[in-house]
Amino acid sequence: MSAPAARGPIVTIDGPAAVGKTTVGRMLAESLGYLCLDSGLFYRAVALATVRADGDPDRADDALAAARSLRLRFAADPSGKFAARTFDGDCEISEALVSPEVDRTVSLVSRIPEVRAAMLEPQREALREGGIVALGRDIGTVVCPEADLKVYLDASPDVRAKRRWKERRDAGGEMDIADIRENLLARDRIDSQRSIAPLRAASDAVIISTDACAPTEVVEAIRASMTERGLIHAA
Ligand code: CDP
């Protein structure tokens, strides 16, 4: 029997809403020449499909039907490195995935065990070859506990609300920062209290508090942990 093909390294970054996973994950992936996959997009797509079908995001049958209807496809950005554009079949849904309505409903569909079960295999498939930075809530604990490095990012609610407000404003949206803060805290509550795959750091995760850190400093800290583990060589 031949040995299984060697895969590239897998780095997971989990943490609460708007902590900076996407910014840090993309910068890190770019510096390593890896792909960056944001698992939140899977759950956001389920929330969007549920709402568009007039379903109830709190009902397992509605959310599961929506999950099964999805023909998700990710396309890279022009640099070819990030799964930056999301399609359902031929229809691009990238912008709709970050609408306030999806922000409000995504944690409801994400706590439904049947939805999580349906999303597990597509995520594992996307990680199969390695050479990837994967972002989410349960990548290091459930989706890929065998990852080579698990990182957990944290920051205070005020800092996270400000980051999300700025991100949405830069993308052309105007939202009240108090509403954003409330949404983040509501999602954190549901994400960390759900019975299946709750948001938490893996026991062997490297925990980084990012309140006072620029993204480049967080990337440097993660690269240092990778060097320590022999995953990359020091520059
Ligand atoms: O960008 P942000 O951190 O605000 O959220 P996201 O990563 O797009 O995730 C949106 C929501 O999807 C989270 O609040 C969770 O409810 C859910 N999610 C999850 O349950 N498991 C994951 N691995 C990723 C996201």
Q: Burial of 71 by CB count in 10 Å (0-12 exposed, 13-18 middle, 19+ buried)? A: exposed
What is the pLDDT, as a whole number, of residue 202? 97
What is the pLDDT, as a whole number, of residue 85? 87
What is the pLDDT, as a whole number, of residue 92? 96
41 C-alpha to ligand 1 centroid (Å): 8
Local mean pLDDT, 10-residue blocks, the chain (235 residues): 71 96 94 92 97 98 97 79 82 94 96 96 92 96 97 97 93 90 95 94 97 96 97 85
Give the residues surrounding ligand 1 with Cβ less than 6 Å away: 17-18, 21, 39-40, 43-44, 106-107, 110, 136-139, 187, 191
What is the pLDDT, as a whole number, of residue 19? 96
191 C-alpha to ligand 1 centroid (Å): 8
Alpha carbons 5 and 128: distance in angstroms, whole number: 11
Question: The tokens of 29 are what?
Answer: 């992936």
What is the pLDDT, as a whole number, of residue 169? 92
In whole angstroms, how far apart are CA 165 and each of 66, 184, 199? Answer: 29, 11, 22
Euclidean distance between the first and the last CA atom of the chain, given in angstroms as a whole number = 38
What is the pLDDT, as a whole number, of residue 80? 65
Ligand 1: residue whose CA is nearest its atom 25:
40
What is the pLDDT, as a whole number, of residue 154? 97
